[in-house]
Structure 1
C-alpha cells in the first residue's frame, strides 16, 4: 500500500496538472451540438483552447464570458447573460455547458441564480439546456473537473423513468473517465456491440473529437451523445463506470433513475479485462466471442515476449490518478518497479498504486526523484519530454496534453488489443534505447547462440 504525500513547495515548478475548468469543458465536448463556456477572463479560455487544439489537431469549440477587472469586482451577471444570448442566437447549440474559473469563484458569483434570472427574462431560454458546474482552478485538477461535470450532467439532464417503465435489457450506460481517448471509446463500443449490447456513452468523445471531417462546418461540437439520448439513460439495464473518478456519476444515476452500476477502475491489463469480458457475458447472456479468446492469447504472448525487456526497469510516472493507477499497475504486473509516482490530486486509488509513495506534486518533483532513484523509463504527458531528455532515459507519452506527436486521440490502451499494443510500444522504446547506447539486450544474448546445422549442439560465437 502506497503512502500518499502532498508536496510542500511554495509554488508549482513545471506543473504536471491541468486545471479543473479545462477538465469540465472537456467533458462538455462529448455532447452533440455543445458549446462549453468558461466563466472567467479571456486568458483562462485561450490557454485551455490552445491545449485542446494542439492535442487533437482539430478546431475545438470553447467560449468565454470575458470578465474584465471591473466586471469581476461588480459581478458577472451581464457577462454571463450576454455570452449565453450570443451563443444561443449565433451558433444554435443544443446545450451550453458553463464552468466557473478561479477569478469568478473568488468573487463568489451566483451563476445558478444568474441562470434562473436569464430564463425568466428571456422566455426562449426557459427550457433550453444550461448546465453549470463550479470548477475553480485554484483547487483540484483536470480529473476532478471532468468528474464533477459528468455527475452534474446526470443530475440535470437524465430523466427519472416512470414507475411502470420497462428497462431495455440490452441497453447499458457507459461513463468513461477522462483518461480514455476517443480511440479507447471506439474499441469499447465494438466490444459492447459484439455482446449484443447497445451502449450510451456519457460523454462520447469518440463522436466529437475522433478527427473526422464533417460535410459542413459547425461552430459547436460535431458529434457525441445527444441531449435527448442522455435524458433516456434511466431506461438502461446497467451502468458501467470506467475509472474510480466515475463512481460519483454512477451513484448519481442510480439515485435518480435506479440503474444499477459497476465500476471498473482499470481496463489495461490481463486480469482487469478478463473480469470485464466475463461481466459483459453475464449481463448479456451471451458466450464470449471467439475473437476475444484469440485476443487474450495474443496479449498473453505479448506479455511473455516483452517481459524480458520491461521486467526490472525502474519506472517514473506522472499522471492524473486514474491513468497513473491503470498504467503503473499493468507495468508492475509486467515486472517493472514503480519507483517514482507523482500525481495531481487526491483519489481513493492512490493508496493501491504499486509504489512505496505517491506524491501529489509537479514535474520538477518527478524529474528530481527519477534522477535520485536511478529510473530508466519515464511516463507523462508532453510537458515531461525535457525532463526525460535531461535524464537521458526513454520517454513514453501518455495523458493530456500530447502536442508533439500525431494521433493522440487514437491511442489505444483498453481491452486485450489496447494492452497488447501498449506493451509493444513501451518494450520497443526500451529496445531502441539499448541499441542507441550499445547495451546488450536479451535478444542480443539469444542471437549469440547459434545452432550448428546437422548437430544438436549450440556454439557460442564471440
Structure 2
C-alpha cells in the first residue's frame, strides 16, 4: 500500500501515537527493569528534600550535566572568526562531529571543521601520518587561507606534538610553507570550552603576528571572547563607528554564524582579515570583553606585543558607561549624543519595569564572564541573586563576583557555587526556591521539574530560535536583557491568573 504524505506526523505528535506508547512501555518493562510508578514518584519527591541535597553535594565521583563544553569546542569557535579559516581537530572523527553539531544546533547554520580521523592504530603509533595526510586533503579540497589545529583527548593522552607534526607535514609538502597553521593543545579532560577559546586565540595571534612588529597603526583591538551572540559584534562595531574609533575585532564570528541566504553557498563567510589580525601587534591597545576566556591571550599580548591589554565589560548601564568612558580616554574620541540618548532609553525602560523586578530572587548558572555581566545587570534593576553556580569558574572569578555582590544592597544573600553541576542546581532550586532562574537550554529540564520560570540566556540555546541574533551588550543590549527577564515574569503571572473570575482579579488588560 503506497504511503500517504498527508498522514506524515511531526515528531512532536508522532511519539504520542498508540504504537509508540506501547513500544516505550514494553521497553520500560522488558529491558530497563524499571521500578513501579509509585516507587519512582516516592524517590523523585525525596530528591527534592534537604536530606537529599546534603547527599547530592557530598558526591565526588559523578558529574551530572556539568553546564560546560570541552576545550576543542571553544578552540573551533575562536578559529571560525578569522577569514578563510578551517578548524582541524587532531583526534577522532566522532569528536569533531560533536563540536560541529553543537554549534550548528545553536546557530541553525552549517559549521565547517575537519578531523585527522585518528583510530586505534594512531593511538598506538601516534597521529603523525594522520596529520600529514589530513592537512594535505583539507588544503586541496577546501582551499582555506588558514588551518587552525587543536587536539582532543586521544591526541593528548598519547602525547602528539602539534608543532613538530605541522613542521613535518609542511616539509612533506602537505601544505605550502607559507600557509598559516596555528595550533593549540586543547585536552578535553581539563578546562572547558572557555579554556580552549583562550588557548586557540593565543595560538592564532602568536602565529599571525610573528615578525610583524612595525609602525603603530593607531587601531584598538577588541577580543569578544566566547560570546555566542552575533548581535554583540555588530553592536560593538556600531558603537565604535559612532565614536569614530579605528578598530580590529580579533575573531569576528558574526557573519560566519549568521550568513545571509543569497542562493549561493560560501564556505568561509566573513571573519577578521588575516592581514588585519597580523597587524594587531601594532595596535594602540587591546580590549577584551571577557576576562576568563582571554587570560593567557592577554598575558601574551602584554608581554610579547608590549601592548596594554585590559578587560572592559559593556553590559548594563554601569558597565557600558565605564566602557565608553574608557574608550574615550584611550582614543581621545568624544562619546556622541546618540549613545547618551540610548542610555536614557535604557534608564527609562528600567524605570518602567522596576516594580516588576525589584526584590525578585533569582538563580543563575553559566560561564564566568556571562555570570558576571548578567548578574551585574540584574543587580542594577533590583533583583536579588540567591544561587550562582559556575562549573568552570576559579578562585579569581569568585573573588571578583563576590566584590560585585558586596557592593550592592541586593547581593547579600547570594552564594557562589564553583565546580558544581546542574543536578546540584536542582537541589538548590527545590530546597531554596527563587522567583526565576537564568541559564541555557539545559535548564529546560529544571523548569519542567521545579516549575520555576526560566530566562534563556547563554550557550547553547537549542530549543529556541534567533535569540543569538540579538545584542546583549551596550545600552541596546541592556534593553534586550531587560525585556527577556521582565516578560518571563509577566508570562508567569499570566499562567497563574488564567481562571476567569477566580484568579484573574488583580491582573488583567483593563487595569
When residues 123 and 62 of structure 1 are mapped into structure 2, their CA distance, relative to the original with a 3 A threshold, is closer
More strand by share: 1
Residues 5-404 of structure 1: pairs in structure 2 closer than 5 A: 8-122=59-173, 124-162=175-213, 165-169=214-218, 171-213=219-261, 216-219=264-267, 221-245=268-292, 246-264=294-312, 266-347=313-394, 348-353=396-401, 354=405, 355-404=414-463
RMSD of aligned Cα (Å): 2.3
How many Å apart are 1:9 and its aligned residue?
2.9
Shift of residue 65 of structure 1?
A: 1.0
Tell me the distance in 1 between the aligned counterparts of 2:263 and 2:295: 37
Q: Distance in 1 between matches of 2:309 and 2:369?
A: 18
Alignment partners' CA distance in 2, 1:49 and 1:7:
35
Partner of 2:472: 413
Specify the alignment match of 1:430 in structure 2: 489
Tell me if the contact between 2:221 and 2:249 (Cα under 8 Å) persists in the aligned partners. Answer: yes
> After superposition, what is the alpha-carbon deviation per residue over 1:126-145, rounded to whole angstroms, capped at 9, x for unaligned?
12111111111111111111
Listed as ranges, the gaps of 5+ residues in structure 1 are 1-5, 449-462
Give the equivalent residue in structure 1 for 2:24.
none
> Could you give the per-residue CA deviations for residues 188-212 of structure 1, whole angstroms, max 9, x where no partner exists?
0111111111221111112321232
Distance in 2 of aligned mates of 1:213 and 1:234: 35
Contact map agreement 1:39 1:104 (CA 8 A) in 2: yes
Shift in alpha-carbon separation, 1:34–1:113, aligned structure 2, 3 A: same
Provide, for residues 250-278 of structure 1, a one-character-per-residue CA deviation record: whole Å limited to 9, x for no partner: 332232233323211x2211111111111
* Higher Cα Rg, which structure: 2
Q: Is the 8 A contact 1:40 1:102 kept in 2?
A: yes
Q: Distance in 1 between matches of 2:317 and 2:336?
A: 17
Question: Normalization by structure 2: what TM-score?
Answer: 0.81
Change (3 A) 1:160 1:194: farther
Check the 8 A contact 2:497/2:507 in 1, yes or no.
Answer: no
For 1:161 and 1:227, locate their aligned partners in 2 and report how far apart those are by CA, in whole Å. Answer: 12
Q: Is the 8 A contact 1:38 1:65 kept in 2?
A: yes
Cα contact 2:109–2:258 (8 A) shared by 1: no
Once the 2 structures are TM-superposed, how far is the Cα of residue 148 of structure 1 from its aligned partner?
1.4
Structure 1 position 285, deviation (Å): 2.3
Deviation at residue 81 of structure 1 after TM alignment:
1.1
- Give deviations 1:420-447, integer Å, cap 9, x for gaps: 2211210011011012112999x95998
Q: 1:371 to 1:179 in 2, by over 3 A?
A: farther
Distance change >3 Å, CA 381–CA 7, structure 1 → 2: farther
- Alpha-carbon distance between aligned partners in 2 of 1:343 and 1:239, rounded to the nearest angstrom: 27
Secondary structure of 2:223's match? strand
Query: How big is the shift at 1:161?
Result: 4.9
Residues of 2 paired with 1:149 and 1:8: CA distance?
33
Question: Shift of the alpha carbon at 1:123?
Answer: 7.5
Question: Unaligned stretches of 5+ in structure 2?
Answer: 1-56, 406-413
| Structure with greater contact order relative to length (CA < 8 Å, sep ≥ 6) | 1
Equivalenced residues, count: 438
* Bigger mean CA offset, 209-218 vs 426-435: 209-218
